[in-house]
Amino acid sequence: MQTRTEAYPLSDTWQISELVSEMMRDIDSRPEWHDEVSRGKMFGLLIYRDKDGREGMLKAYSGQICGRSDWPGYVPAVFDYLQPDGYFKQEEAAIVALHHAGQPTRERSQALQRWLFTQTVLTGAHGERRSVLDVFTDWAASNHSKQILPPGGTGECCAPKLLHYANSHQLKVLALTEFWYGASPKGEIRHHGRQYEPCQAKCMPILPFLMEKERLEEMLDSYGNHSRSLSAEKYEGPLTVLYEDPYLIAIDKPAGLLSVPGKRNSYCAETMLREQTGAPFLKAVHRLDMDTSGVLLFAKTEEVYREMQRMFALHEDVEKEYVAKLSVGDEGRGMRGDGRGVISIPLAPDFLNRPRQRVDYENGKEAVTRYVMEGDTVHLFPLTGRTHQLRIHCAHPDGLGRPILGDPLYGDTPADRMYLHACSISFRHPVTHERVTIKSPTPKPHPDPPLGEGEAPEGKLKIKNSKCKIKPPTGSPKGEGRELIST
């Protein structure tokens, strides 16, 4: 018997992963979607509380499915421009006809895209309504961005659709997540069922308008693919020095600490070491990703710095070894046991999702890694130095097909850290010309710490009371959400 409706605290909840699984079963049950979504698509869900204190869930998919943006049970598009007799489709057909006739279409295409962004009007966190174009251009101006117009598809991803709908219906946003369904795109690394943060280029510029700042920060911090940054927390030094002479110094960099100053954070290994040693000149001659630990080398003079930079750029008389602990990989696929070989997969920046990199066989830069497998551990010897090279070469199906354990960008298995460690670097000394080898002991994985009472795993949300009745929320179109009513 239904007795009352109750507003549940977020600390007493179901896990978001359970709601994602439930939503994936709904996707599985739609045969008309199968061919399209099995090739890969982003879906999202939002947990809300209405003005009467009842909680519920909204669902969304990015873009369209089978040419439709109005499937029952999912929030509609912010602006449906796909009507056959609408301006967009008619103008699009005219542009296609001009193209086939060999006529220039660039300016007309850009004008149509601009028109679309003026027609796509978002409802903000405080009920104000503004076009995607206005929101994006304001963000670009305040952030001094060179990208002054929105990329194609801005406003059509899951997060903006869900937030716009919630704001339009005066629903308080409690939690939001997006997850990948289906196969990974050829050039990217996405894992079926894995939760991801909103994209950088299309979503992040408009999310501050759609969410209150505090809620946005909470949401981003909650993602399981967000690594813990020691740069933000202030690493409790001192840094461990592995090698030092009058010209060079090497440290054992901990995972989570930036190597050099970032755009928004100057607290890093280089800054710490300068303070620790009092050296008048100190520059990192190479870099490790924030999430990577191990040997990091610095020059003490400008001349040595320039020579080491040259040697590292040309991979001349420089040998590096990394060791990584691998996760199982999607559905148990990927290289197993012992083995050795060379991976050659060209890489390029993913401009829509920085700092991610992507596989690009047409325009990417050469990236080559030698590897030696020992069960779930792999020793990696990079022969080139591309950004995220080792991480992608492990995770991508054309490489090992097994992500590094705890990789926050390309992985499928969360851990207390990313288990990639720079265990050795060997080089010809730029002054003495002797061979120098510096080593760092490899950290061992350990089980996740037990959760305290009432805690949820990182990136997870609970909703109290699994015994609940499900019905469309008040004021919502049938099937576009659900309320959780205590029984």
- What CA–CA distance (Å, rounded) separates 46 from 174? 7
Answer whether 38's CB lies under 8 Å from 183's CB: yes
Please pick, among 252, 289, 350, 407, the residue that the annotation labels catalytic: 289
Residue 25: the pLDDT is 95
Residue 408 CA: distances (Å) to CA of 46, 199, 435: 22, 14, 35
Q: Give the pLDDT of the chain (487 residues) as one tens digit per residue.
A: 222 223 333 333 457 888 999 999 999 999 999 999 999 999 999 999 999 999 999 999 999 999 999 999 999 999 999 888 899 999 999 999 999 999 999 999 999 999 999 999 999 999 999 999 999 999 999 988 888 889 999 999 999 999 999 999 999 998 899 999 999 998 999 999 999 989 889 999 999 999 988 888 777 766 544 444 544 455 677 999 999 999 999 999 999 999 998 766 668 999 999 999 999 999 999 999 999 999 999 999 999 999 999 999 888 889 999 999 999 755 555 665 668 999 999 999 998 888 899 999 999 999 999 999 998 999 999 999 999 999 999 999 999 999 999 999 999 888 889 999 999 999 999 999 999 999 999 887 655 443 333 333 333 333 333 333 333 334 444 434 333 322 2
Q: What angle do CA 106, 110, 116 make, to 5 degrees?
A: 150
What is the bridge-based pairing of β-strands 482-486 and 468-471? antiparallel
- What CA–CA distance (Å, rounded) separates 348 from 337? 30
Q: What is the pTM of this model?
A: 0.79
Q: Is residue 267 classed as helix, strand or coil in its secondary structure?
A: coil
Which residues, other chains included, contact 342 with Cβ-Cβ below 8 Å and sequence gap of 6+? 368, 369, 370, 371, 383
| Residue 448: other Cβ atoms inside 10 A | 11
Question: Could you give the dihedral angle defined by the CA atoms of residues 286, 290, 291 and 292, in that order, rounded to the nearest 10 degrees?
Answer: 20
What is the bridge-based pairing of β-strands 248-253 and 482-486? unpaired
Is the backbone of residue 431 left (phi > 0), alpha (psi -120 to 50) or beta?
A: alpha
Radius of gyration of the chain (CA): 25
Structure tokens at 81: 């421009």
Which residues, other chains included, contact 44 with Cβ-Cβ below 8 Å and sequence gap of 6+? 59, 60, 61, 62, 157, 158, 159, 161, 162, 176, 177, 178, 179
Clarify whether 221 is annotated catalytic. no
Residue 217: the pLDDT is 78
Find the farthest-apart pair of alpha carbons in the chain and give their distance in angstroms, rounded.
84
- What CA–CA distance (Å, rounded) separates 44 from 149? 25
Residue 302: the pLDDT is 97
Structure tokens at 167: 């704001």
Answer whether 464's CB lies under 8 Å from 8's CB: yes
